[in-house]
Structure 1
Amino acid sequence: MGVSSYITFKVILVLAVLVVAVQPPPCGAATDRLSTLLRSAVDNDGEDENSGGRKWAVLVAGSNGYWNYRHQADICHAYQILKKGGLKDENIIVFMYDDIANNKENPRKGVIINSPNGSDVYGGVPKDYTGKEVNTENFFAVLLGNKSAVVGGSGKVLNTKPKDVIFIYYSDHGGPGILAMPTGADLYADDFIAVLKKKHEAGTYKKMVIYVEACESGSMFEGLLPHDWNIYAMTASAADENSSGWYCPGSDPLPPPEYTTCLGDLFSISWMEDSDRHNRKKETISGQYENVKKRTWNNGTGGGSHVMEYGSMDLRKDKLSKYQGYVLPPINVATIPMPGTTVHQRDAELLYLWEKYKRLGDEKSEMKDKVLKEMSEKMQVRAYIDGSVDAIGDYLFGTEKAHSILKSVRKTLPLVDDWECLRSMVKIFEEHCGALGEYGKRHMRAFANICNNGISLAAMGKASMAACDGHSAQ
């Protein structure tokens, strides 16, 4: 092809894209074919951004229960972004309990939405690991590409090569140093970092980007993730603060009136709506970080959380398309709403129960009594756990020092010096005082500080016995 012919081809291609951009889009499969055609034309126009490598993604919703609707909604929305961006199903691995779309409480059966006026994000999502298959062991096996270690599920793992890039997105409850899973053991930060280290040492990826939505999610990486592994992590919150649900009943903007639970999480909604709206071949990770940070902290006015970043900062200059793929951005874009009222993740279940109670009407009924009793029990459990941790602190450090020691935050340092000690302290507490649950994970820092102050397991056992034995949350 001569120079003039090549230039003519380029002009025709650009005109074709412009003509299509101003026309109403065709429907159904035709839309997908057109999007793929245009994306292929643009992707092949110039340097191959992955230098011959493939894009991979692992998406994890680490909770279950209808009150946690938002986590699976987040993950399904992320899948749609990546799929439309050109990633293949064989390279997208999804962990979700899958108890939301067809839940009896879901007002739109078989449908999950992630925003008040949003379309279904559940359709087409691969169910690689569901139910009890959503656990820490399977997640780690998938990351390491260890197919023989996976139990159940599709068997898909990160069968990555040295030139490949990886995007990991995790939406869930958490606590200092941990992320929750719906089944099995929690995911501890030191174990996660150890798996990433193995992946790095194996040389089976070129670059990796991790987004984490959870309370205290910064603690998963702070002081732990090196700068030279070609891994960049962005978290919904700092190491010592909550993250928030959004599009919740009573908030602004409101979800559709038939919903009793939050549709999404503030950090997650912020990055995904940013990706939906912008040209991902132009916007960098740095640009997305700045946009999401501003929105998640409510334009600097508070009411949200501080988005944080860790690891290899040189990845910030990479275009989003390198990890999330590319699709033509919309031409007419509505203004992104800044959050009004947000809901702390740990309070979302109580909000769900309150909305459920209100919608049962004014008259007394057996169902209203049942929901009211459930709310009361949840509050009692919270008070019991808080009181038990406080009593243990008083026993170990005295009433004057206990609060400051248990709440102490080690800025820029890992949460704890001895992670095995932390696991042991949690185990001792739960043996005497009961399971921490989603709410109780907020006290992980207290257990870490007990370890950091040199308290023995025997002393912790005595303190837990004194605080909890013979008492219950009921």
Structure 2
Amino acid sequence: MQFRSVFLSLLITSTVFLEVSEGKNWAVLAAGSNGWPHYRHQADVCHAYQLLRKNGFPPENIITFMYDDIADNEKNPYPGKVFHDYNHKDVYEGVKVDYSGLDISADTFVEVLTGQQELKDQGNRVLESGPDDNVFIYFTDHGARRLLLFPYDALDWEYLHETLSNMTAKKMYNKILFYVEAAFAGSMFENNLPTNIGVLAMTATNEHESNYATFCDDAKIKSCLADEFSYQWMADIEKNKLSQRKIGEHFRAVKEALTHSHVKLFGDKKILDLPLSDFFTYGPQEEIRETTTDRPIQMKDESIATQAHVISLAKQLKESKSPRQMKLAHGQLHRALELSKMARETMDEIVNAVTTNGPPNGKHNDKHAYVECYRTAYKQYENKCLSIYQVPEVSNELEKLDRLCEQGYDAKVIVQAIFTTCA
């Protein structure tokens, strides 16, 4: 009898332990941009939020970053609503925005991911995941070589690596699945993401190319509604049974669906064998499939993300209904094209000034010097010359700055060339 009591006690204790240690799923969704021309980034995040909620995620397990200036924007012909495709299904209603406006920054994003107590003490939400929990991280915005952009600063690849290392040291996760929608997104993880820390990154692009926007020809909304990679990964999740579909199958389907950029994988490839439900569902309500006609539709009217604003301006010019509207639209389009040309010519002038000044200083194998060189050069270029939010085509040109630093040219020489060129 005593043995039976001890056995039952041990069984109950074990059961309680299993229940306590069962992992939860968390998600951090971030749109790094602001302004009407970048409508699609906030639409991406809104759709992702709705997808997670439909699959059982409670709001307290989703942290959202969104400038939140689209739904009620004066240019929005559908006040209070945000759409992700031509079906015009509102994806904004019910979205709980945790960080908006000036709080959309690289530093805040990092502090949230690493669960900084100081931020929590101020009444803000941070990631509170533990060693048994899976975390889905999704970022969508402009990017450049080794950079992810926020409205007023940037997250570079070394800072991101330090962030993931910090999360690993603090035992904040079991596995992390990290999706990045941005130009040059692959450069954030290239030779920089260990394969043994339980993190898998999927990027919209490789290390040297732009991503693509889609649904760029809406009759009333003069901006692209979605990004190609983002729309496809969400569409694949919405039409499949997640407990029976492996992440590897999901990756191959998304990769095949994209006709322009090259989807890449970095990190722990063993995660590809896990089901999508390990990251995209929560609790017993998992896999609630909608019976609705508002299904994902075939993408159309794509544009290189760095040129999406030009497409929008050209459309406004074409649809002008008065001489005044035509003059205004023509002026805006002309200015955008001139700024694009200026970005290219300015960077070429900087590169020429640096390379004709003398050979590299021989530090090209010094990673610390390289990191600091590129950080410094980028910040000074943005301050003195042009920013990506002023001229999206700048993202293509920053690869030239990165190459100078990689080749070992001194940061002081590069900065001086920037000052001289953009004075």
Normalization by structure 2: what TM-score? 0.87
Contact 1:50 1:322 in 2 (8 A): no
1:320 is matched with which residue? 276
Amino acid at match of 1:456: D
Q: Does 1:364 pair with 2:323?
A: yes
1:383 is matched with which residue? 341
Deviation at 1:336, TM superposition (A): 6.6
Instruction: State which of 360, 378, 381 in structure 2 corresponds to 1:426.
Output: 378
* Secondary structure in 1 matching 2:243: coil
Equivalent pairs, count: 397
1:30-429 superposed matches below 5 A: 52-149=22-119, 155-182=124-151, 184-249=152-217, 255=218, 257-296=219-258, 298=259, 304-325=260-281, 326-329=286-289, 339-361=299-321, 363-365=322-324, 367-397=325-355, 418-429=370-381
Amino acid at match of 2:342: Y
Contact 1:416 1:448 in 2 (8 A): no
Gaps of 5+ in 1: 1-47, 250-254, 299-303, 470-474
Q: Which ranges of 4 or more aligned residues in structure 1 deviate by more than 4 Å?
A: 48-51, 330-341, 413-417
* Secondary structure in 1 matching 2:26: strand
Deviation at 1:428, TM superposition (A): 3.6
The superposition leaves residues 355-390 of structure 1 with CA deviations (integer Å, 9 ceiling, x where unpaired) of 2233331x311x432332222222222211210111
The superposition leaves residues 29-61 of structure 1 with CA deviations (integer Å, 9 ceiling, x where unpaired) of xxxxxxxxxxxxxxxxxxx99971111000001
Deviation at 1:462, TM superposition (A): 3.9
Amino acid at match of 2:355: F
Amino acid at match of 1:439: E
CA distance in 1, matches of 2:297, 2:93: 26
CA distance in 1, matches of 2:48, 2:419: 45
CA distance in 2, matches of 1:192, 1:49: 33
Contact 1:237 1:308 in 2 (8 A): yes
Contact 1:176 1:415 in 2 (8 A): no
Instruction: State which of 399, 402, 412 in structure 2 corresponds to 1:445.
Output: 399
Q: Which segment is superposed worse, 101-110 or 326-335?
A: 326-335
CA distance in 1, matches of 2:19, 2:288: 17
Contact 1:279 1:328 in 2 (8 A): no
Deviation at 1:427, TM superposition (A): 3.2
Q: 1:151 to 1:190 in 2, by over 3 A?
A: farther
2:5 is matched with which residue? none
Contact 2:386 2:394 in 1 (8 A): no
Q: Which segment is superposed worse, 350-359 or 259-268?
A: 350-359
CA distance in 1, matches of 2:380, 2:220: 43
1:433-472 superposed matches below 5 A: 433-437=385-389, 438-469=392-423
CA distance in 1, matches of 2:19, 2:308: 41
Deviation at 1:149, TM superposition (A): 3.3
Normalization by structure 1: what TM-score? 0.78
Q: 1:282 to 1:415 in 2, by over 3 A?
A: farther
Amino acid at match of 2:57: L
Q: 1:50 to 1:382 in 2, by over 3 A?
A: farther
CA distance in 1, matches of 2:50, 2:366: 35
Contact 1:177 1:415 in 2 (8 A): no
Contact 1:417 1:452 in 2 (8 A): no
* Secondary structure in 2 matching 1:418: helix
Amino acid at match of 1:82: L
* Secondary structure in 2 matching 1:110: coil
Contact 1:50 1:164 in 2 (8 A): no
Deviation at 1:455, TM superposition (A): 1.4
Amino acid at match of 1:433: C
Q: 1:127 to 1:194 in 2, by over 3 A?
A: same
Contact 1:388 1:467 in 2 (8 A): yes
CA distance in 2, matches of 1:351, 1:79: 28
Percent identity reads 30
Deviation at 1:100, TM superposition (A): 0.7
